[in-house]
Chain A
Amino acid sequence: MIVPRLSRALLAALLSAAPTVADAAGQADSAWDPVRTAVELRALRTQAGDPDRAIEAVLSLTAVLDALEDRRDPAGRLAEVEHELFLRALEYRARAHLSRGVREAAADDLRALVLADPSWRLDLADLPPAVVDLFEEQRGELVAWLTVRTEPPGAVVLLGDEPLGKTPLIAEPIFAGMVTVGLERPGYAPVREARREVLAGEIVELERELERSGPVLSVITAPTGVTVRVAGRVAGVTGGALPADLRPLVPPRFAEEEFSAPLELGSLTIGANEITLEAPCRRPSRFTFHADEARDYLPRFVRLGPSTGGLRIESEPSGGKVVLDGEERGVTPLSFSAMCSGDHRLEIRHPAGRCARSFRVSRGSRTAIRCEILPVLALTPSGPESAPAVDEVLRRSLESRDGFYFVGAEDGEAVQARVRAVVPEPGAGPSRIEFLAAGSRVPETARFDRFAPESAAGAVEELLSPPLRRRPWLGFTAALRRTVGEEGGGYRLEVASVHLAGPAVLAGIEAGDELVEVEGRAVSDELGLAEIVEAHPKDATLDILVRREGTDRLLRLVLAETPVLPSLGGGRCNRRLVGLEAEFARGQSEPTRQLEAGICWILLGDPARALLHHLNDLEAPAGPGVGSGTLLYYGGLALADLAEPARAVEAFEAAATVQGATLVTHDGPLLAPLALRRARMLR
């Protein structure tokens, strides 16, 4: 629930507004709510004036004050609105005390009120004269009155270091005691009065003529909020509205603009002064001002033209919520025709993860940002007593890791994975790092040495490194075969079998071919062949020299890919699921991936999810390798877990009929014997 932001003005209005409006607003949140407190105070004000109900008002107001006391920050400060409510509550409690005839208590509250704000104005509604008298009595015991006039006027009056107002300052309440008054005005020498004692109720009057010390130039800008520097140092930021008396001075070409109030630059020197003006989304402006003598110069009007560029934000996958410089701006893909030039911070939030980027927009150019959504990884603290050193190692390790969007702790947004350290009591089990995918209740773990917290980094590396999910596939099996030869014969690497639907068939490779060279390298055993294949990506073309019936043939094989599915013996399913969910979000949801996700949920103990979200209605290719047989096998496994033995047996038996169906890769292992064993055991 969002608590509406309130200004003091709105709060004041609410204190006298119709209860229905306030009540409606007050229901917005059950937590502390300034609107509801304001409404409550308004009701208590009436109650405070009724001697019969004043005691209830005292109690209620004390509760309000206690609640506000609890909201003070460590330095004892309250927010502006809270401070206002606090003082108003003090005032009403004083009224209630007076209604009950407890004058001392009322005096204490009013004294506290004066101490908090000597210029506090009492709420005039239903205000009893006795309250006014007591308030003034308290103020009279604490406050003196300061009047300051200067020539020229407009000097800032400082009480100590705190600005009190501008001259002419008439009867401003100040606390009695030792005070030092100062006067400052750009272009004039500052004045520091001698420290003196002021008595309660005393009226202090000062009149001073200021001594010119330098030139003064006023800068008036359109728009407001322009930072003005003199010789590179910030002199101020323009604000406010142009006073009516200066409007005739606005140059005709700027007539339509909204100009600021004048910003007096008092730090100028006689001679040339470099003045620069900057504002977000505006072209900076710079001019040199020549001051020939110490005097006030005519104000300078400066208009900063817009400075923007085009911006296009895309994410992979699209559909992410764009938060630009902390504000939600839409959903990717998103274009801005006029984005303020300068540095920006982008965050894109997507159900599949997040991405963040800092970038700069240049004026007049088009900037394109493409952000890859990464799974969000949160670090769950292990607890303050158990392993802060390990948590720190984890944090460092995770922050430096690619492939994840690391958030130190969960921030209320969706999280795709969590990491935590578990450090049991000595003897109660191994210390370990746990990695858990969203939705999973069975973490993957890696052990580390509790006495060497740095070893946790290795455990994290082990858990976060992506598991092998696909690998290049030749579509044939080569085996070393003993051959006839001298001295008892030799060996040759021979194509022993060819997968019916694999790339070897397309390349024209046949069972019985002797493998002579692959990619120009002689291959002498299965390991040599495997290493050449592992070094090439999918779709790479391999030149394979085979010997068939004594003739060498050069064949070209385009490497395909085989999935590497998790096996029931452990397949790092949490890590796999994080990757799979990211792929699904990108629309990559082909049957093999769905099958992989289904297997993982079975392994993680959620067969219903596996069936409902991944395996049901899935169509896998019939034939040897990973396909329909694999799907049927795991469907059977899920059904068996869901206590549907008859249907599971049906699925297992169907799986066993798929010729050459395999469990993990297109090459194996064969699933028919396993399926039949499971069917038999269920029967």
Chain B
Amino acid sequence: MTVRAARIAALPAAAALLGGAAPAAAYQAGQPADPQLERAAERRFRSAEQFARGGRHAQALRDYEAILDAMPDSRLADDAALRIARHRFEVEGDPVAAEAMVARLLREFPAGDALPGGHLLLGRIAAKSTPPRPADALAEFERALTAAGRADSPWSFPALLGIARVSRDLMEDRAAAAALLAALHETEGALATAAERFAARFLLARTLARLGEADAALHEAASLRADLLRAEREAAPGPEPIGEFDPRRLAEQASDLATLVVRYRRSGGPVWRFAGAVRPPQRLDEPRRVRIADGLLHVLDRDTDELQTFSPTGDFRGALGVDAPWDLTFAGVSGAAGGVAGGGSPLPVIAAGESLVVGGNVLRLRLPGGGGGEPLRRIRAVAAIPKGFWVWDDREKAVLRFARSGLFLGRVPHPRLDEVRRIERHPAGHLVVLEERQGVLAFDEVGERVFHRPAGRGLGEPVDLGFDDLGNLYVLDREGPTLAVHDRSFDPVVTLRGGEWSGNAVRRPVSLAVAPDGGLFVLDEATRTVAVLR
């Protein structure tokens, strides 16, 4: 709204270039906008904003459209166009319509102050598209940043955050760290909410940790914790969350991250000590998977056909029934050990033979073909990936990529595999597979093998694997039992054999969960307990 003069000057030229795609008459004449028109537009815009805030999106949309179509000379017309585009994408879930509206915004208001917002939205659409278009997303976020121009622009922070998130998904941790540092230290801080800034700081700490900048990561985590505690103390006497985020939870996540980083800085490598066993009150007859998500322990049991949830100390929190479950992961979680800073709770995703059960909802997966496509019938393993899933189908003998909507996105390239027990996505995007006969393998995006730890060579009967927030790979081997840890480049960090590393509490392990702080939760079918190793 501050570039009115620039817009007035620029539009006649733009109109000429477009061959008469006539912008509003007032612009062409270079005249200041009609104050009466401005007042009417402002009233309409305010009304729309109130409708939108109250969740009455249809009414809001009508107001925005009225401004754009009936009052195109108003200085709020471009803002209305942006709001409509956001409505199309965020409310209606229609990225094509949203992109079309942004295109109109860029065409008709090329010098408008909503321009960076348009690019920002295009970036978000590209990042969330199926399949994701990270290069397009990055380009749009950079355009948003360039169009915003100034550090104190309200668009700078979200544009940099977008760059950081896409870069992290691409494992471009250095670029992600740079964008986060720029967002936090080179944009006007007051224009982001406290929650956004805290979340960005936590993301920065995680990114720095993954980059190997341990000191910087530790400092970021520690100062974040101090500031969160201060914010919590100053904001409210009780433990209530501030706004939509819970500072105490984020503070805990920060200390978990610090614990994890410190664990790997120890000379001689990381160590674990037995810290007790969680014995679920319900009997686990055929426990298959253990996972940590949202600070809770989740155990998949094939005998009871349930996903049982416990507190870390074993208090039963609930169960979710699911037929013939095979594998378990959580969507919205980075690897097996991630957390969502300030976001909602991650959703359990269960591989259940003929379907995926996502947050309790059954999702049938089909391969493309006639008659709606061939349904998958032997889904044995699942891994969460950004915006979707990888699943292993035992009949197809392939890892297949699906969007969260269930849309088939293609096959993940890999050589022949047979008895796959687990699949996981390496933070660098590699497919990591636990195959019964071959051991643990990793393949890059074109299917080239980048890592192989064969069964029989140090591994007897690998049963599960996981990643922590630093990108370390953990392989649990029933024989020994053994725990093998490799760093994010797959170089070996430590291999612990025999029962001593687990305090002799683990005899026949079947599954492993890596906590955000690097603690291990090992599901043992002999004792039907979860051993906690800190």
Contacts and interface: CB of A to CB of B under 8 A. Distances in A.
A76 interface: no
A670 B208 CA distance: 9
B219 A484 contact: no
Given A526-B223, A673-B178, 16 more contacts: A479-B225, A481-B259, A482-B256, A487-B313, A488-B532, A494-B262, A497-B214, A526-B229, A568-B151, A568-B187, A569-B151, A569-B188, A670-B177, A673-B177, A674-B178, A674-B185
Most interface-central of A486, A491, A511, A527 (chain B CB within 10 A): A527
Given A477-B218, A496-B262, A527 B187 contact: no
Contacts of B226: 525-527, 529-530
B215 A677 contact: no
A326 interface: no
Interface string A481-525: 111111111010010110000000000000110000000000001
B219 A667 contact: yes
Contact of B275 (A479, A485, A567, A568): A485
B189 A569 contact: yes
Contact of A484 (B215, B222, B225, B275): B275
B181 A674 contact: yes
A479 B517 CA distance: 12
Nearest to B224: A526
Given A479-B221, A569-B151, A669 B181 contact: yes
B142 to A, nearest CB: 8
Given A477-B215, A530-B226, A568-B151, A491 B255 contact: yes
Interface in A656-676: 660, 663-664, 667-671, 673-674, 676
Given A477-B222, A674-B178, A677-B182, A527 B215 contact: no
Given A481-B259, A481-B262, A663 B222 contact: no
B182 A484 contact: no
B280 interface: no
Contact of A677 (B179, B190, B225, B233): B179
Nearest to A486: B276
Interface in A512-556: 512, 525-527, 529-530
A487 B315 CA distance: 12
Interface in A294-317: none
Contacts of A670: 177, 181, 208, 213, 216
Contacts of A530: 226
B185 A482 contact: no
A614 B256 CA distance: 43
B50 to A, nearest CB: 19
A291 interface: no
Interface in B237-270: 255-256, 258-259, 261-262, 265-266
Interface size on A, as a range, is 35 or more
Interface of B: 151-152, 174-175, 177-179, 181-182, 184-190, 204, 208, 211, 213-216, 218-223, 225-226, 229-230, 233, 255-256, 258-259, 261-262, 265-266, 273, 275-276, 312-313, 517, 519, 532, 534
A477 B215 CA distance: 8
14 contacts: A479-B221, A479-B259, A481-B255, A488-B312, A489-B275, A496-B262, A526-B225, A527-B229, A527-B233, A567-B185, A569-B188, A669-B181, A674-B182, A677-B175
B496 to A, nearest CB: 16
B182 to A, nearest CB: 6
Contacts of A491: 255
B178 A677 contact: yes
B534 A668 contact: no
A399 B241 CA distance: 43
A670 B184 CA distance: 12
B216 A669 contact: yes
B219 A668 contact: yes
A548 to B, nearest CB: 14
Contacts of A496: 218, 222, 258, 261-262, 265
A525 B229 contact: yes
B276 A525 contact: no
Given A497-B218, A569-B189, A667-B219, A479 B262 contact: yes
B149 to A, nearest CB: 13
Contacts of B174: 673, 676
Nearest to A511: B265
A491 B256 CA distance: 10
Instruction: Report which residue of A486, A487, A526, A570 has the largest number of chain B beta carbons within 10 angstroms of its beta carbon.
Output: A526
Contacts of B177: 670, 673
B530 to A, nearest CB: 11
Contacts of A677: 175, 178-179, 182
Contacts of B534: 482-484, 489
Contacts of A567: 185-186
A667 B259 contact: no
A265 interface: no
Nearest to A429: B2
- Scoring B177, B211, B216 by chain A CB atoms within 10 A of each residue's CB, the highest score goes to B216
A497 to B, nearest CB: 4
Contact of A478 (B152, B179, B222, B266): B222
B223 A667 contact: yes
A235 B351 CA distance: 113
Contact of A482 (B175, B230, B255): B255
A483 B265 CA distance: 15
A494 B204 CA distance: 21
Nearest to B257: A479
B313 A488 contact: yes
Most A CB atoms within 10 A — which of B151, B215, B275? Answer: B215
A673 B216 CA distance: 12
A604 interface: no
A489 to B, nearest CB: 5
A210 to B, nearest CB: 86
A677 B167 CA distance: 12
Indicate the member of A491, A667, A673, A674 with the most B CB atoms within 10 Å: A673
Nearest to A483: B534
A580 interface: no
A664 B181 CA distance: 11
B275 A569 contact: no
A511 B262 CA distance: 9
Contacts of A479: 218, 221-222, 225, 255, 258-259, 262
A680 to B, nearest CB: 8
Contact of A674 (B151, B186, B190): B186
A660 B215 contact: yes
Nearest to B265: A511
B276 A488 contact: yes
Q: Top 8 A-B pairs ranked by shortest CB distance?
A: A479-B258, A677-B178, A673-B178, A568-B186, A526-B226, A527-B229, A496-B218, A673-B177
Contacts of B208: 670
Interface in A636-657: none
A358 to B, nearest CB: 43
A480 interface: yes
B213 A482 contact: no
A568 B218 contact: no
A481 B252 CA distance: 10
Contacts of B185: 567-569, 663-664, 669, 674
A570 B188 contact: yes
Contact of B219 (A477, A489, A512, A527): A477
Nearest to A678: B178
B262 A488 contact: no
